């Protein structure tokens, strides 16, 4: 069952898809009223699901005429973007970092839902029994799988 945060996220993503320029402007209070929740719930969704790591820029102005502008960062060159994301993995990565990268690549169309589930499953299975160096192993696995997918697309 979808949580309220999931429903709000889906709503904002649909608005971005409808937009011709990948920009949506919303009023936090009005959106909170629409979903019958506190404005802090809207803040939570914006901070956790529409951040730079996931390919979004948030601009806001508080006050009576305040607004939140959500901009979806677009990339015409998937190889370049995927290469940059692989480079950002570094020597170690947290589970949250993995999720952020997978969400961006899924939203870009680089990874299917099945690919995302497979990558998450492999990483979770292989790091489950590791006592030390879990973040390093996670980074190696993620980097290897994304490089294979990139190579597959380019062949």
Q: What is the pLDDT of residue 2?
A: 83
pLDDT at residue 63, rounded to an integer = 67
The label of the residue with tokens 């015409």 reads 76
pLDDT of residue 78: 67
CATH fourth-level superfamily of 4-72 = Transcriptional regulator CtsR, winged HTH domain (3.30.56.130)
Six token digits for residue 123: 């990483």
Q: What is the pLDDT of residue 58?
A: 86
pLDDT one-digit tens code per residue, 92-134 = 999 999 998 998 888 887 888 999 999 999 999 999 988 899 9
Q: Which residue ranges in the chain fall short of pLDDT 50? A: none
Instruction: Give the DSSP per-residue string, the chain.
Output: ---HHHHHHHHHHHHHHH-SSSEEEE-HHHHHHHTTS-HHHHHHHHHHHSSGGGTEEEEEE-STT-EEEEEE---S-HHHHHHHHHHHHTT---HHHHHHHHHHHHHHTSS-HHHHHHHHHHHHHHHTT-SS-HHHHHHHHHHHHHHHHHHHHH-
pTM of the model: 0.59
Domains in the chain: boundaries = 4-72, 78-154
Partner residues linked to 58 by β-bridges? 70
């Amino acid at each position: 069952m979808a949580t309220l945060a999931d429903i709000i996220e889906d709503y904002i993503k649909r608005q971005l898809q409808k937009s011709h320029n990948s920009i949506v402007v919303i009023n936090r209070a009005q959106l909170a009223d629409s979903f019958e929740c506190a404005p802090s719930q809207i803040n939570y969704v914006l901070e956790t699901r529409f951040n730079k790591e996931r390919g979004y820029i948030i601009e806001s102005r508080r006050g009576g005429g305040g607004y939140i502008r959500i901009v979806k960062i677009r990339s015409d060159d998937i190889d370049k973007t995927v290469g940059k994301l692989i480079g950002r993995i570094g020597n170690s990565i947290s589970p949250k970092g993995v999720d952020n990268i997978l969400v961006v690549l899924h939203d870009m169309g680089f990874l299917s839902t099945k690919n995302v589930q497979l990558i998450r499953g492999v990483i979770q299975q292989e790091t489950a029994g590791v006592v030390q160096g879990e973040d390093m192993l996670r980074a190696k696995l993620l980097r290897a799988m994304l490089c294979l997918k990139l190579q597959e697309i380019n062949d």
